């Protein structure tokens, strides 16, 4: 069941433009490198000079095939390029080359985990299609390189940049779900390397189509929030839009289909223009380009050259390392994390512990030491091994792991030296766990003797009084005792 907002069900569908990581444009040989001087990367074709003809970039097609394979979609053997006609100064041809009736990638789905209250549930968003198209140029207004003096300039560097537009079914039911979908999609395209995923530079831009309805009713009229280029703004924009639409309906207004922009400064969405219908664009097949034909052999070759996909890798982690599905999904959020996990699991021989450490402490420290390289997996493996046999306790292990992030040269792939490095750190930080029962009992006796009140309270039925005693004992041992052992010994002493 999806969550309702003030009695309304939220319905969201996404259109995402992923800029493909080719070196040159989709139909010309101009470079697509980011940040060049305006109009230095625009050839005659990009400027729409008469007599020029588009030539398909194979690399762009190959990336579309890779995407289709990654999301289990059908890859059309024959797809068509169409002209989408509209006038805009940054579109000198007067039309954008896109795919309309027959897109190259059809269907497919994207799955991810989502926290719902205390539970973690798996969601699947169905994709409708993904099609190839060219980007338009950019209008530069006042205060930019070409604008100024009451004039606007046009930069055609971006004209013809290859895009894959990825369209979902209206399957999402909350802003949380929408953001989780966008993050998962971002992971997929960057993992397979078809897009650099740089949201600030506009390489991955999302449009969120949002509507609300009474549960079980017809789909409501949607408004499309354009060009969301950060996950934070995405959430804010959708939440604002949902509240706004409900307010309108409650006030007796109807929602007009529109394209809106989110303003991060005010946190509001505002209508930019009323929405065009497909008919307004006068789509028709582009006579300059033949149908795009993709043979099964081509698909098979691309498939054989692709790296292991995140979901396939996650399934393997479940199978080979007996990990819960949740862990496997978390660990395959990036190639770097997945590789770190596998190396650690193999070296320490404790896959579940390795998983816990990487999802927990490692993630925390990686976010903290944002500019540092991660310590060698050999060091983490040594820590896990020693924790597992009780040489150090959890508290000590955390301190030890923290210390390796500051250790000079800890990123070197240690193989043989790791054990002695960890040995020295344990010495230096004085972390060896007190496993000598006699010594521990002596400390416990001492603490019991000096805290008679806690003992009385515990005996009188206050179970919490035990925590105070454990705390005092851990303090005397400088945190080096095994808390479970301390607890057991303590109970034995108080009870008998
Ligand atoms: P267009 O391409 O003209 O914008 P589409 O019908 O292709 O329109 O839909 C675009 C996106 O809008 C898709 O992601 C789709 O899932 C979503 N969508 C369609 N209807 C609704 C609706 N009523 N509420 C929310 N999203 C919707
Ligand atoms: Mg659209």
Average pLDDT, whole number, for the chain?
Answer: 92
Side-chain half-sphere exposure of 104, counting CA atoms within 13 A: 28
pLDDT, one tens digit per residue, over 382-416 is: 999 999 988 898 989 999 999 999 988 777 777 77
Instruction: Answer whether 169 contacts ligand 1 (Cβ < 6 A).
Output: yes
Ligand 1: centre distance to CA 222 (Å): 7
Phi, psi of 368 (to 5 degrees): -75, -50
Q: Which ligand is nearest to the CA of 127?
A: 1
β-strand pairing of 8-19 with 162-168: antiparallel
Q: Tell me, yes or no, whether 231 lies in a domain.
A: yes
For residues 482 and 420, membership in a common domain is answered with no
Ligand 1: centre distance to CA 122 (Å): 23
Q: Tell me, yes or no, whether 302 lies in a domain.
A: no
Where among 382, 412, 429 does a domain terminate?
429
For residues 425 and 448, membership in a common domain is answered with no
**Candidate from 15, 177, 277 with most ligand 1 atoms within 8 A of CB, to mutate:** 15
Where among 409, 429, 449 does a domain terminate?
429
- Count up the domains in the chain and report the number: 3
For residues 79 and 187, membership in a common domain is answered with yes
Q: CA-based Rg of the chain, rounded to a whole angstrom? A: 29
For residues 481 and 425, membership in a common domain is answered with no
Query: What is the rounded distance in angstroms from the CA atom of residue 465 to the CA atom of residue 456?
Result: 9
Choose between 264 and 496: higher pLDDT: 264
Ligand 2: centre distance to CA 226 (Å): 9
Q: Tell me, yes or no, whether 293 lies in a domain.
A: yes
Side-chain half-sphere exposure of 189, counting CA atoms within 13 A: 27
State yes or no: pLDDT of 343 exceeds 90: yes
Phi/psi-derived region of residue 229, left when phi > 0, alpha when psi is between -120 and 50, beta in every other case: alpha
CB 41 within 8 A of CB 32: yes
Look up the CATH number of the domain holding residue 486. Answer: 1.10.10.410
pLDDT, one tens digit per residue, over 323-342 is: 999 999 999 988 999 999 99
Residue 470 pLDDT: 87
For ligand 1, atom 13, name the residue with the nearest CA: 13
For residues 24 and 172, membership in a common domain is answered with yes
For residues 420 and 456, membership in a common domain is answered with no
Where among 275, 297, 319 does a domain terminate?
297
Ligand 1: centre distance to CA 292 (Å): 26
Sorting pLDDT into bands at 50, 70 and 90, what band is 457?
confident
Q: Which ligand is nearest to the CA of 210?
A: 1
For ligand 1, atom 14, name the residue with the nearest CA: 13
**Containing structural domain, residue 219:** 4-297
150 CB neighbour count, 10 Å cutoff: 7
Q: Which ligand is nearest to the CA of 169?
A: 1
Q: Tell me, yes or no, whether 303 lies in a domain.
A: no
Query: What is the rounded distance in angstroms from the CA atom of residue 149 to the CA atom of residue 38?
Result: 18
Ligand 1: centre distance to CA 13 (Å): 6
Provide the whole-model pTM: 0.84
What is the atom index within ligand 1 of the atom nearest the CA of 167?
14
What is the atom index within ligand 1 of the atom nearest the CA of 220?
23
């Amino acid at each position: 069941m999806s969550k309702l907002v003030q009695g309304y069900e939220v319905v969201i569908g996404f259109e995402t433009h992923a800029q493909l990581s080719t070196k040159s444009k989709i139909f010309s040989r101009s470079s697509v490198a980011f940040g060049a001087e305006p109009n230095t990367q625009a050839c005659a074709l990009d400027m729409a000079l008469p007599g020029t003809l588009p030539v398909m970039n194979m690399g762009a097609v190959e990336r579309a095939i890779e995407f289709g394979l990654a999301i289990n979609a059908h890859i059309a053997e024959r797809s068509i390029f169409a002209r989408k006609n509209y006038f805009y100064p940054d579109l000198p041809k007067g039309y954008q080359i896109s795919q309309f009736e027959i897109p190259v990638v059809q269907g497919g789905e994207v799955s991810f985990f989502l926290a719902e209250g205390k539970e973690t549930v798996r969601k699947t968003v169905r994709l409708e299609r993904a099609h190839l198209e060219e980007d338009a140029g950019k209008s530069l207004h006042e205060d930019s390189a070409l604008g100024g003096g009451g004039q606007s300039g046009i930069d055609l560097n971006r004209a013809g940049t290859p895009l894959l537009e990825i369209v979902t079914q209206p399957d999402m039911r909350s802003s949380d779900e929408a953001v989780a979908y966008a993050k998962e999609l971002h992971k997929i395209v960057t993992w397979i390397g078809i897009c650099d995923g740089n949201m600030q530079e506009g390489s991955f831009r999302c449009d969120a189509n949002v509507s609300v309805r009474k549960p079980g009713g017809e789909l409501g009229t949607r408004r499309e929030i354009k060009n969301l280029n950060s996950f934070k703004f995405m959430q804010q924009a959708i939440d604002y839009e949902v509240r706004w639409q409900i307010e309108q309906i409650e006030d007796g207004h109807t929602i007009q289909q529109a394209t809106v922009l989110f303003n991060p400064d005010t946190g509001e969405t505002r209508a930019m223009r009323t929405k065009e219908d497909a008919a307004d664009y006068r789509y028709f097949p582009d006579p300059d380009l033949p149908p795009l034909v993709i043979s099964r052999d081509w698909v098979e070759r691309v498939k054989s050259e692709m790296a292991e996909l995140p979901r396939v890798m996650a399934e393997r982690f479940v199978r080979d390392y007996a990990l819960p599905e949740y862990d496997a999904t978390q660990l395959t959020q990036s190639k770097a994390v997945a590789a770190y996990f596998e190396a650690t699991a193999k070296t320490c021989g404790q896959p579940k512990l390795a998983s816990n450490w990487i999802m927990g402490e490692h993630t925390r420290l990686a976010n903290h030491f944002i500019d540092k390289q991660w310590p060698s997996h050999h060091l983490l493996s040594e820590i896990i091994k020693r924790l597992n046999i009780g040489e150090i306790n959890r508290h000590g292990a955390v301190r030890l792991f923290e210390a390796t992030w500051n250790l000079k040269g800890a990123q070197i792939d240690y193989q043989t030296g790791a054990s002695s490095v960890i040995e020295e750190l344990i010495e230096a930080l004085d972390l060896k766990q007190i496993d000598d029962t006699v010594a521990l009992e002596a400390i416990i006796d001492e603490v019991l003797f000096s805290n008679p009140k806690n003992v009385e309270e515990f005996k009188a039925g206050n179970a919490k009084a035990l925590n105070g005693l454990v705390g005092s004992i851990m303090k005397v041992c400088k945190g080096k005792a095994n808390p479970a052992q301390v607890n057991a010994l303590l109970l034995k002493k108080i009870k008998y």
